[in-house]
């Protein structure tokens, strides 16, 4: 793979996608060693430019970069520059002057990481931009599914929740389709877009008929409450969540459960589903580090 | 491309029966001679002492040499462990590569603390691979002792690293390429020199 940036998954070829997943495997093995660190990025600087708060993605990138020997600085924007009215361009110039080799960007504006990538010779990685993309999330989900289903032939993944506003749904379904999984969406009618090649369900009973192997539950964004999308949290749980009843069936049939975290207990998943041995949330977290390491390893900064 | 059968004067060190021109190739070792070099390595290791030893091959091809040495040593009653090391993450030239090398798994299933390790590689040249391997190895623990066995020592060290056991010493020029082919990796056993003078 010869690439400077990772901005989305749609522009990655299947070969490039496979390469990242393949390279994440030996990197994950390093976690078992007594020293979980190696010098592949020694002397490199990774700057985390987060315009939106995110503890999980930020710490995952941070752990990944530090295990590879890089120096990591978190550029906490909301509390500093935005307040001062500094433009993105100025911020990027500042990061350039700090000799950043990688800039990991999260921003609510779709496409902003791509704009930044054009301004700098540093490698830019999107850590989520609006509803556009969250490429490393999609890759870690694909990696996690590969661990349970080494061959994806005919395996079915049902993604449930607010699909329309979810970059996780977009990135994860993009990569899963590219790798040959079958994907379906489930959610309230107004929040489930029609996408060619993706089955669309608005109630759970229909979705069962489709015989999913994996239930991928999206996080309910509490801040969108009151936008009349969901009447209430308990209503959401009843309609689109994994309730005790649905969980019984899932565990009887040995199906898998995924969630990008953090879970709203009792909303997307009931407590029992959280403790289920085929609930992959913790593997997703661990694999997120491995996949982000693979991305850092494979990207090459631009020429001077 | 010409491949000249190696000229006379090919002894334990050096193939220069006559000078090769740039781009010319010569077969330095055939299958039989590679087997002899492996035997020599195994004999030296056997003669070096007793006690359990961990043979660790460096990917790629060092692992295959290590496997062959292990097979020879298995005929004795010396206690053996086998491991494989991928050193890509420890290379000192990643910065300068257009594309990073493909990572492969390392397989170290024995406790490194207190182990007597013999690192095995196909060709010893600048010594940089071995430097990287030492760093990779010690991230698994603190071995009691590390030795180095190489199928071929072609000279031109850039670091103060010397082998403990050598299958064959070859005299080369700095810019020559020594290509080792092994059955398991390349489908045949041969050592070829490409002159680049």
* CATH number where B107 lies: 3.40.50.2020
> Would you say residue B130 lies in a domain?
yes
Structural domain boundaries, residue B99:
32-169
Window from A103-107, A136-140, A287-291, B192-196 with minimum mean pLDDT: B192-196
A56 is in an annotated binding site: yes
Low-confidence ranges of chain B (pLDDT < 50): 1-2, 4-14, 17
Give the pLDDT band of residue A152 (cuts 50, 70, 90).
confident
Q: What pLDDT does B2 receive?
A: 47
Are B90 and A40 a contacting pair at CB < 8 A?
yes
Domain A14-133+288-298 shares a fold with domain A135-285: yes
The CA distance from A285 to the nearest CA of chain B, in Å, is 21
Give the pLDDT band of residue A85 (cuts 50, 70, 90).
low
> Would you say residue B64 lies in a domain?
yes
A39 is in an annotated binding site: no
The CA distance from B187 to the nearest CA of chain A, in Å, is 24
A88-102 pLDDT per residue, tens: 888 889 888 999 999
Tokens representing residue B182 in the block: 């092994």
- Residue A247 · residue A256 · CB < 8 Å: no
Give the pLDDT band of residue A164 (cuts 50, 70, 90).
very high
Provide the CATH topology of domain A14-133+288-298.
Rossmann fold (3.40.50)
pLDDT at A157 over 60: yes
Tokens representing residue B126 in the block: 């600048």
Are A26 and B139 a contacting pair at CB < 8 A?
no
Q: Is B86 on the interface with A (CB under 8 A)?
A: yes
CATH class of the domain comprising A135-285 = alpha beta
Are A26 and B105 a contacting pair at CB < 8 A?
yes
Q: Is B141 on the interface with A (CB under 8 A)?
A: yes
Are A33 and B90 a contacting pair at CB < 8 A?
no
Q: Is B171 on the interface with A (CB under 8 A)?
A: no
pLDDT at A277 over 60: yes
Chain A hits for B112, Cβ within 8 Å: 34
CB atoms inside a 10 Å sphere around CB A211? 11
> String of b and e for A39-63 (b: at least 16 CB within 10 Å)?
bbbeebbbbbbbbbebeebbebbbb
Q: What pLDDT does B18 receive?
A: 54
Give the pLDDT band of residue A228 (cuts 50, 70, 90).
low
Burial class (CB within 10 angstroms; exposed 0-12, middle 13-18, buried 19+) of B180:
buried
H or E element at residue B116: strand B116-124
Window from A3-7, A73-77, A267-271, A288-292 with minimum mean pLDDT: A73-77
Q: Is B153 on the interface with A (CB under 8 A)?
A: no
B24-58 pLDDT per residue, tens: 899 999 999 999 999 999 999 999 999 999 999 99
Count of the separate structural domains present in chain B: 1
How much is the average pLDDT of A244-272?
96
> Would you say residue B140 lies in a domain?
yes
Strands B190-194 and B25-29: antiparallel
Tokens representing residue B14 in the block: 């050096």
Chain B hits for A30, Cβ within 8 Å: 89
Q: What pLDDT does B3 receive?
A: 52
pTM, full prediction = 0.92
Are A2 and B100 a contacting pair at CB < 8 A?
no
Q: What pLDDT does B1 receive?
A: 44
Chain A hits for B136, Cβ within 8 Å: 38
Residue of B nearest to A28 (CA): B105
> Would you say residue B134 lies in a domain?
yes
Are B98 and A300 a contacting pair at CB < 8 A?
yes
| Domain segments of chain A as ranges | 14-133+288-298, 135-285
- Residue A46 · residue A70 · CB < 8 Å: yes
- Residue A5 · residue A302 · CB < 8 Å: no
How much is the mean pLDDT over chain A?
A: 92
Q: Is B112 on the interface with A (CB under 8 A)?
A: yes
% of residues, chain A, pLDDT over 70:
94
DSSP state of B185: H
Q: Which of B89, B106, B140 sits opposite A40 (nearest CB)?
A: B89
> Would you say residue B191 lies in a domain?
no
A262 is in an annotated binding site: yes
Residue of B nearest to A2 (CA): B99
Are A26 and B135 a contacting pair at CB < 8 A?
no
Q: Is B131 on the interface with A (CB under 8 A)?
A: no
Give the list of residues 6+ apart from residue A187 with CB closer than 8 angstroms, or none. Answer: A160, A161, A162, A163, A164, A202, A240
> Would you say residue B2 lies in a domain?
no
Residue of A15, A27, A35, A99 to mutate, interface with B, max B Cβ within 10 Å: A35
d(CA B93, CA A208): 53
ipTM score for this prediction: 0.87
**Would the CA dihedral through A184, A185, A189, A192 be positive or negative?**
negative
Q: What pLDDT does A90 receive?
A: 87
Helix (H, G, I), strand (E, B) or coil at B56: strand
Q: Which of B94, B135, B140 sits opposite A33 (nearest CB)?
A: B140
> Would you say residue B51 lies in a domain?
yes
């Amino acid at each position: 793979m010869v690439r400077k940036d990772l901005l989305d998954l749609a522009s990655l070829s299947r070969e490039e996608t496979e390469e990242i997943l393949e390279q994440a495997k030996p990197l994950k093995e390093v976690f078992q060693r007594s020293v979980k660190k190696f010098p592949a990025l020694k002397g490199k600087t990774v700057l985390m430019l987060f315009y939106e708060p995110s503890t999980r993605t930020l710490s995952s990138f941070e752990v990944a970069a530090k295990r590879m020997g890089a120096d990591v600085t978190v550029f906490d924007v909301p509390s500093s520059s935005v307040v001062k009215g500094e433009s993105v361009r100025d911020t990027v110039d500042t990061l350039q002057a700090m000799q950043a080799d990688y800039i990991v960007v999260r921003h609510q504006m779709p496409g902003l990481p791509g704009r930044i990538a054009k301004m700098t010779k540093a490698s830019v990685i999107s850590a989520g931009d609006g509803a556009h993309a969250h490429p490393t999330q999609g890759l870690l989900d694909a990696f996690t599914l590969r661990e349970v289903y080494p061959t994806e032939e005919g395996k079915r993944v049902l993604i449930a929740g607010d699909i329309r506003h979810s970059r996780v749904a977009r990135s994860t379904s993009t990569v899963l389709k590219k790798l040959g999984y079958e994907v379906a969406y489930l959610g309230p009618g107004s929040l489930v877009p029609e996408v060619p090649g993706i089955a669309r369900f608005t109630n759970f009973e229909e979705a069962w008929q489709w015989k999913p192997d994996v239930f991928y539950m999206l996080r309910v964004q509490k801040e969108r409450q009151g936008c009349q999308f969901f009447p209430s949290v308990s209503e959401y749980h009843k309609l689109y969540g994994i309730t005790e009843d649905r969980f019984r069936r899932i565990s009887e049939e040995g199906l898998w459960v995924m969630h990008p975290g953090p879970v709203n207990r009792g909303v997307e998943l009931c407590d029992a589903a959280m403790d289920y041995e085929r609930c992959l949330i913790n593997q997703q977290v661990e694999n997120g580090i491995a996949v982000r390491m693979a991305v850092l390893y494979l990207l090459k900064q631009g020429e001077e | 491309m010409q491949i000249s059968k190696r000229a006379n004067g090919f002894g334990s060190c050096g193939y220069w029966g006559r000078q090769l021109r740039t781009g010319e190739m010569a077969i330095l070792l055939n299958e039989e001679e590679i087997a002899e070099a492996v035997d020599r390595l195994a004999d030296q290791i056997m003669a070096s002492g007793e006690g359990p030893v961990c043979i660790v091959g460096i990917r790629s091809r060092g692992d295959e040499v290590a496997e062959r040495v292990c097979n020879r040593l298995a005929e004795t009653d010396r206690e053996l462990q086998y491991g494989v090391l991928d050193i890509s993450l420890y290379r000192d030239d990643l910065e300068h590569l257009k594309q990073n090398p493909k990572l492969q798994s390392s397989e170290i299933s024995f406790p490194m603390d207190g182990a007597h390790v013999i690192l095995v590689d196909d060709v010893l040249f600048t010594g940089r691979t071995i430097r990287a391997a030492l760093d990779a190895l010690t991230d698994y623990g603190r071995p009691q002792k590390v030795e180095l066995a190489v199928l071929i020592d072609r000279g031109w060290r850039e670091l103060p690293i010397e082998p403990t056991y050598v299958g064959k010493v070859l005299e080369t020029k700095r810019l020559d390429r020594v290509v080792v082919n092994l059955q398991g990796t390349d489908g045949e056993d041969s050592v070829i020199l490409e002159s680049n003078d």
